Amino acid sequence: MVKIAPSLLSADFGNLEEEIRRLEAAGADLLHLDVMDGVFVPNLTFGAPVIKELRPRSQLVFDAHLMVTNPEKMLSAIAAAGADIITVHAEAVTHLDKALDEIRSLGCRAGVSLNPATPESVLEYVLDKLDLVLVMSVNPGFGGQSFIDSQLEKIARIKEMISGYDIELEVDGGINPETAAECIKAGADILVAGTAVFSTDDYAANIKALRQN
């Protein structure tokens, strides 16, 4: 069954402890943590200190999505804060091969994210260093945007590329029950959802609606 990773970006930032408790009770599989630096993307969120405070308050898999320039500089801090998965953007890192090695050496699972315009070919020579590929189905920076349909083809192509590897395929942006169905059909293993999960108070029903396809 597809895994659901609610994005904390759409949560009440004034009450994160309660929000993550509710997400866990609602059946979330991972907690998606959108780290933004205001440079790689035009928005600023949180970093290692916040993740560190949340870590003892949740059993969920912490899925850190680094939308920052030079993510190499913060890998050790994000790992020490308690991330289980660390995903860097192919567009933001100069030495991708090296960064992926470093993430694994820090004891985390290594992910690469691709912006909508970035071709999947950048993955070709690092497949053996990857635990996760994150396809951005919106331009990163904000929740609440519309799913970019062209990414369905990319998801299917990546699914093909990673067959035979132990790599999970995650999709992030504009996920709702309709686009979730299309992503699952194309081969997604994990769906990130902000708006769709937090749209009503019934997080369990909202998560279930994304799985039921």
Interface with ligand DX5 includes 6 (CB under 6 A)? no
Show the site string, 116-145: x = touches Zn ion by CB under 5 A, - = not: ------------------------------
Interface with ligand DX5 includes 148 (CB under 6 A)? no
Q: Which of 27, 49, 107, 144 binds ligand DX5 (CB under 6 A)?
A: 144
From 37, 131, 172, 189, active-site residue:
172
Interface with ligand DX5 includes 141 (CB under 6 A)? yes
Give the sheet arrangement for strand 168-172, strand by strand. Answer: 3-6, 190-193, 168-172, 132-136, 109-114, 85-89, 61-67, 30-36
Residue of 102, 44, 112 lying closest to 73 (CA atoms): 102
The DSSP code sequence of 127-190 is GGG-SEEEEESS-TT-SSPPP-TTHHHHHHHHHHHTTTS--EEEEESS--HHHHHHHHHHT-SE
Q: Which of 72, 172, 182, 189 binds Zn ion (CB under 5 A)?
A: 172
Shortest Å, Cβ 210 to Zn ion: 15
Site for ligand DX5 in 156-175 (CB under 6 A): 172-175
Shortest Å, Cβ 111 to ligand DX5: 12
From 29, 34, 37, 63, active-site residue:
34
Residue of 172, 68, 78, 157 lying closest to 121 (CA atoms): 157
Looking at beta carbons, which residue is closest to Zn ion?
Answer: 65
How many residues bind to Zn ion according to rule CB under 5 A? 3
Catalytic (active-site) positions: 34, 172
Residues that bind Zn ion (CB under 5 A): 34, 65, 172
